[in-house]
A = this chain, B = another copy of it.
Amino acid sequence: MKQQQECDICEELCEHPQTICLAKAEMLPDQRVRKVADLFKILGDATRVKILQILAKREMCVCDIAAVVEIGQSNISHQLRLLRNSGLVKFRKEGQMAWYSLNNDYVAMLLSLGIEHTTHD
């Protein structure tokens, strides 16, 4: 009935009320959409894509990641913090070194789907 109300409102205001009404009903809640966008935002940076791609193959320590990606250690640390906070990577400390790895397989799937997508240009 909430939906019917929205339809009534649409009826007055919009171009194709039924379609608009349907589409509104199908929309994910705002908070969920924001979560999804935040996830993709984290993946939307070349440095982080490189890091994730590396970690998809093997666990690696910070200084080695920096060596492979060829950017400063500080920068890598900052990016790893973002990736940690997003739950995409986990790490364990061993002495003074920190070993990072992917936190789950979803990330790898998203990455490879994204990579696959760019081949079809």
Q: Which residues in A have some Cβ–Cβ distance to B below 8 Å?
A: 10, 13-16, 19-20, 23-24, 26-28, 30, 32-46, 48-50, 53-54, 57-58, 60-61, 63-64, 67-68, 87, 104, 106, 109-111, 113-118, 120-121
Contacts and interface: CB of A to CB of B under 8 A. Distances in A.
B114 A20 contact: no
A35 B15 CA distance: 37
23 contacts: A13-B67, A15-B61, A15-B64, A19-B64, A20-B64, A20-B67, A20-B68, A35-B118, A36-B49, A36-B117, A36-B118, A39-B44, A39-B117, A40-B41, A40-B43, A40-B44, A40-B114, A41-B41, A87-B121, A104-B120, A106-B117, A109-B113, A113-B113
A121 B14 CA distance: 37
B32 A43 contact: no
A13 to B, nearest CB: 7
Contact of A60 (B23, B38, B63, B118): B23
